[in-house]
Structure 1
Amino acid sequence: MARKKVVYQEFGNTVPDETPEIVDLPPQQQSPRIQASRSGRKGKTVTVITGLQHSPETLQKLLKQLKNKCGSGGTLKDNTLEIQGDQRQPILAFLLDQGYKAKISGG
């Protein structure tokens, strides 16, 4: 069903944009990708984990576990996890133990 787009409305009810509900998929149904990257970080290497479909709260919990496992800092940006340093192997082992179908991508 197509939504009607309001081009101009002077007064009255404004229709709020609907945000899609984020579904927490179980780890067995997810295939995250782990990649080391330096682009845009002034030469510093970070490990980027993409492809996770969790709510922001669950991603924060997972990020905290990964930071403790690797002994380094990290952040959550646009549903991607970033861990400081080249931590691909420890993150891969941790995610496989949690039941994810994780893979290392890139060079």
Structure 2
Amino acid sequence: MKSLEDQLKNLFPDHEPKDVPETKEDTALWMQDDPLICKYEKRKGKPITIIEGYNGADSDFKILAKELKQLLSVGGSFKNEQIIIQGDYRDKIMQFLKNKGFKVKRVGG
């Protein structure tokens, strides 16, 4: 049995395959001396988790926000140099950030 690649070569003999771009690995984020602050609040009666205190580039912090939202499968946003995650996920977030190499400080509750 021929492989799919061989079959495609037979169907399209003139086609030159392009190099497939590599998936980007974990992007190196700015590591800092001060710990990130992870705190819990209620806004309009709903719980939220706020991460603040990052002193690297905003684009890196946005990438971190996206990774957190995907990890937890929840909504959230990045505003005013804060990551706002819907729900109380302090423990999971703190563990994730520690695994990434960040120092994390829990504030409130």
User: TM-score scaled to structure 2, two decimals?
Assistant: 0.69
Find the aligned partners of 1:70 and 1:90 in 2 and give their Cα distance: 8
- What is residue 49 of structure 1 aligned with on the other side? 51
Show the counterpart of 2:78.
Answer: 76
Q: Secondary structure in 1 aligned to 2:46? A: coil
Q: 1:27 maps to which residue?
A: 31
**Bigger proportion of residues as strand:** 2
Residue 36 of structure 2 corresponds to residue 37 of structure 1: no
For residue 106 of structure 1, what is the amino acid of its counterpart?
Answer: G
**C-alpha distance in 2, partners of 1:26/1:75?**
20
Structure 1 stretches (4+) deviating beyond 6 angstroms? none
Shift of 1:28: 4.8
Q: Is the 8 A contact 2:30 2:57 kept in 1?
A: no
Residue identity over aligned pairs, in percent, reads: 36
Structure 2, unpaired ranges of 5+? 1-28
Q: State how far apart, in whole Å, the 1-side matches of 2:66 and 2:30 are.
A: 18
**C-alpha displacement of 1:55:** 1.5
Higher Cα radius of gyration: 2
Q: Which runs of no fewer than 5 residues in structure 1 stay unpaired?
A: 1-24
Aligned residues: 81
- Which structure carries more helix by proportion? 2
Backbone CA RMSD of aligned residues: 1.4
User: What is the TM-score of this pair, normalised by structure 1?
Assistant: 0.70
Counterpart in the other structure of 1:85: 87
